[in-house]
Amino acid sequence: MYRTLFCVVFLLMSGTIRIVAQNDISYVNRGNKLYEKEKYVESEIEYRKGIENNKKSFEGHFNLGDALYRQEKYEDAARQFSEAASMSKDKGQIASAYHNMGNSLLQAKQIDKSIEAYKEALRNNPKDDETRYNLAYAKMLRQQQQQQQNQQNQNQEQQDEKQQQQNPQQQEQPDKQNQDKQQQQQQQQQGQMSKENAQQILDALAQDEKDVQEKVKEQQQQAMKRYRVEKDW
């Protein structure tokens, strides 16, 4: 016996479909009895024992997925439904496995993957209205999620723009600091250049003074020479 989980508005679970499976092993039967008593942990243990004896048991993997789902272990449940789908060639069983896999993924907030699972269920059973409804519901959730993300992005952009308008000084402050630093560097460079120019001027004046003194000395020597010649005459 295996069950198909149905998803209704707000992901509430309602109703089950029970199909008697042939050649149920004793562990799966015990697991089913515990499941009916809502002892999901104990039923999980029995289903796992059944799978150990028959790893290709569709019913074992499928019902283990149900037990895990009831414990809110949605990702683990999805893996068991995927295993169950691979164990059967019956389109009805495969459709049921993918249907429950879609529910598990939807509960795990893996919306895109749940949509693909529902599509696969419909490929195997196009007349399943419950799966078609869940697919539409998952698509609606994805659209809402995208709209919320877009709205959050817009709000963030508006908030950033508002902060820029309210605090222009904070943005200008780094630029002003850079300008002040550049001006300071220019002033230092100008100071260094002025000092160098002053030294060059002093050196030039000293050289000029030296040249003047040499010329005066030369003129004095020439005057003394002329005086001496005239006197000797």
Count helices and strands in the chain by DSSP H and E runs: 8, 2
Q: Which CATH number fits domain 2-147: 3.40.50.1820, 1.10.3720.10, 3.30.1360.40, 1.25.40.10?
A: 1.25.40.10
What percent of the chain is modeled with pLDDT above 90?
52
How do residues 149-169 score in pLDDT, each as one tens digit?
Answer: 898 888 888 788 878 777 765
Side chain identity at residue 84, one-letter code: A
In whole angstroms, what is the distance from residue 70 CA to residue 68 CA?
A: 5
pLDDT value of residue 217 = 61
pLDDT of res. 74: 97
Q: Which residues contact 27 (CB under 8 A, 6 or more apart)?
A: 46, 47, 49, 50, 53, 60
Q: What is the pTM of this model?
A: 0.62
Q: For residue range 184-198, what is the model confidence (pLDDT) as tens digits?
A: 666 665 555 455 665
| Domain boundaries, given as residue ranges, for the chain | 2-147, 189-233
Torsion sign (Cα): 222, 226, 231, 233 = positive
Question: How open is the CA angle 165-170-173, to the nearest 5 degrees?
Answer: 130
pLDDT tens readout for residues 89-99: 999 999 999 99
pLDDT in tens, 45-78: 999 999 998 999 999 999 999 999 999 999 999 9
Tally of CB atoms within 10 A around 81: 28
